[in-house]
Amino acid sequence: MEKKETQLSCTHRESEESNKDEKFLNSLGYKERLHRTYNLFENFASSFAACDCMSNIRGSFYVGLMAGGPSAYWITYAISLPLNLISAAVMSETCSALPAAGSIYLWASASGGKRFGRLFGFIVAWWSTTAWTSFVAVNCNSITKFIFGEVPVFGSSFNTSSSSIKFRAVQWAIAEGLLLVSILISYIPPRIFRHIFRLSVAVILLDFFLNMIWLPIAVSSSYGFRGREFMLSTNYGLGEGVSHGWSWCLTFFCTARVLVGYDAAGHVAEETKDASHNAARGMMYSTLVNGLLSAAVIVMFLFCLPPTPHVYELLKLNPQQPFVSFYAESLGKHAHVFMNVVGMIGMLLDTTMAILASSRLVFAVARDGVLPFSGFLKRVDRDGQPRNAVTFIYVVAALLLCTILPSTVAFTSLMSAAAVPTFTAYALICFGRVFLSRKCMPKSAWSLGRFSLPFLVISMFWNLWSSIILLSPKAFPVTGKNFNYAPVILGSITVFAIISYFVIPSEKWNSCRNIYRSDNDRGVKEETVKEPGEVLIVEKTSSLSSASFSA
């Protein structure tokens, strides 16, 4: 009897939390459409898995070694970690004020204030949609690199050179298959999908502890740890005509992006109970945990690298993924396969989390009429899930993977293109909050208090710097084969965003135009009236302060 009463009490409390979330969004002129299923842990897991530090580090580790060497790698990460945490804190505070699907797009709309809100919203909508869809495609291709990284380890004669059309065709087919698997998982109903969150976190933690325990034990009994001299060494191997200072700075290409994607928790905020608190906490906690784990792993990887002459040879011996050869050197030819498989399963689940976040973003943007075919993309199924948006992510990501077939150059640029729009969006939101909307942003339940403004300024400059690094060439001299197309991609996306801003009538821009500032009392009723030249004026009937946003 007591057990039944406890269950009823929990159900009643969860119902109250859901009603509170719904009332708060309604007070902002926003009607929620997605079903609230997830709690703090699932929200945490969405960001934790989406910006999986293990996959992010291994994906570009050797690029950092070639750019500035070991000392540049750990020093730039020591700089990046606190600055990324500050940026995550700022975005968490913003998420707490606007805990709805679409997150970063919605935040940009509010940060632009009365004059630029709609423009900021359209630009970030296109930026973020491109970024998250690119994440999905890049993750699938990254898994294939670990698969084909085994070819030179086992001495196979199969040609894994990117110049081989046969290899690119096989790589493309496998990547498309992996994408389909992740998409099918994403169609699972929410009550079952909750287990995917748990599995994702478990696999990443297993990956972490294997690298922190098994790897050093194996290295200590084989070629031994690297010493202080190696940890303080530099290596400027990007090419001729590159100053050592700039080459050192380009190491940020690897370390700044280790924690990118933490806004995933914001994308599922509308499906999270007590979202104004839990979505912000999930975002902040996941970034903090990922940051601490990545700091430990980076130090461990550097100390466990093979001797200097050999470590750089691995780049030539295994062009697809040198980390596979590194594991083979330290763990053994056959034993390392288990470590590799765990990492690949983790990346597959990361892809699923990226699909989850990106589909919610697409749904939110379509709901507000920003994208083509919005009427189709904004539909939800009987479980309150945006299945059509998931299908859209599959189609676009599958098309992006097709760019592997003619050449790997354009697809390689997606690595930067996937991160650049996210960093620029973070910077734009901070700029808007500092200069345009400080007095009309909705109040945050999870607030930084007096640290809010200085953190906003720091985050703005940090994300601008990260964007510059990701837009820069990564190999010199610059040729058609190594050109970084990220600036071209970002510029093209921005042009499309501006065109849609002018083409789509302002009256068709639905929910975000009704955002206004609210104080701590979020459950009161407000009287709303429209005036010429303004979308909504909120007249305070209780303790709410008023503000207005034009379309």
Q: By the 8 A CB rule, do 126 and 420 touch?
A: no
Q: What average pLDDT does this structure show over 173-182? A: 97
Q: By the 8 A CB rule, do 99 and 267 touch?
A: no
Range of the domain at 144: 39-517
540 C-beta neighbours (distance < 10 Å), count: 13
Radius of gyration of the chain (CA): 24
Identify whether 23 is part of a domain: no
Provide the pLDDT for residue 489.
85
Identify whether 285 is part of a domain: yes
Identify whether 480 is part of a domain: yes
Q: By the 8 A CB rule, do 74 and 307 touch?
A: no
Identify whether 27 is part of a domain: no
At 518, the pLDDT band (50, 70, 90 cuts) reads very low
Identify whether 398 is part of a domain: yes
Residue 513 has pLDDT above 80, yes or no: no
Angular region, 52: left φ>0, alpha ψ -120 to 50, beta rest: beta
Distance (Å, whole) CA 65 – CA 305? 11
pLDDT tens digits for range 398-427: 998 998 888 766 666 666 667 889 999 999
Identify whether 152 is part of a domain: yes
At 217, the pLDDT band (50, 70, 90 cuts) reads very high
Identify whether 44 is part of a domain: yes
Residue 551 has pLDDT above 70, yes or no: no
Provide the pLDDT for residue 479.
73
Distance (Å, whole) CA 315 – CA 320? 9
Provide the pLDDT for residue 155.
86
pLDDT tens digits for range 453-467: 999 999 999 999 999
Provide the pLDDT for residue 341.
96
Identify whether 546 is part of a domain: no
Distance (Å, whole) CA 63 – CA 254? 7
Q: Which residues contact 545 (CB under 8 A, 6 or more apart)?
A: 517, 518, 519
How far is CA 215 from its chain centroid? 28
Looking at the chain, the number of H-run helices and the number of E-run strands are 25, 3
**Residues of the chain with pLDDT > 90: what percent?**
49
Helix, strand, coil distribution of the chain in percent, nearest 5 = 70, 0, 30
Provide the pLDDT for residue 537.
34
- The CATH number for 378's domain is 1.20.1740.10
| Nearest CA among 463, 72, 471, 367 for reference residue 247 | 72
Q: What secondary structure letter does DSSP report for 481?
A: T
How many structural domains are present in the chain? 1
Residue 525 has pLDDT above 90, yes or no: no
Q: By the 8 A CB rule, do 281 and 44 touch?
A: yes
Provide the pLDDT for residue 55.
92
Distance (Å, whole) CA 370 – CA 387? 18
Residue 544 has pLDDT above 50, yes or no: no
At 201, the pLDDT band (50, 70, 90 cuts) reads very high
pLDDT tens digits for range 346-402: 999 999 999 999 999 999 888 888 877 888 988 998 888 899 999 999 999 999 899
pLDDT tens digits for range 258-277: 988 899 999 999 899 998 89
Residue 9 has pLDDT above 60, yes or no: no
At 515, the pLDDT band (50, 70, 90 cuts) reads low
How far is CA 380 from its chain centroid? 23
Strand partners, 539: 527
At 100, the pLDDT band (50, 70, 90 cuts) reads confident
180 vs 519, more confident: 180
Distance (Å, whole) CA 424 – CA 463? 6
- What is the model's pTM? 0.87
**Residues belonging to the chain:** 551
Q: Which residues contact 415 (CB under 8 A, 6 or more apart)?
A: 59, 60, 138
Residue-by-residue DSSP string for 303-338: HHPPPHHHHTHHHHH-SS-HHHHHHHHHH-TTTHHH
Give the chain's mean pLDDT.
Answer: 84
pLDDT tens digits for range 17-66: 556 767 767 766 667 788 888 999 999 999 999 889 999 999 888 888 88
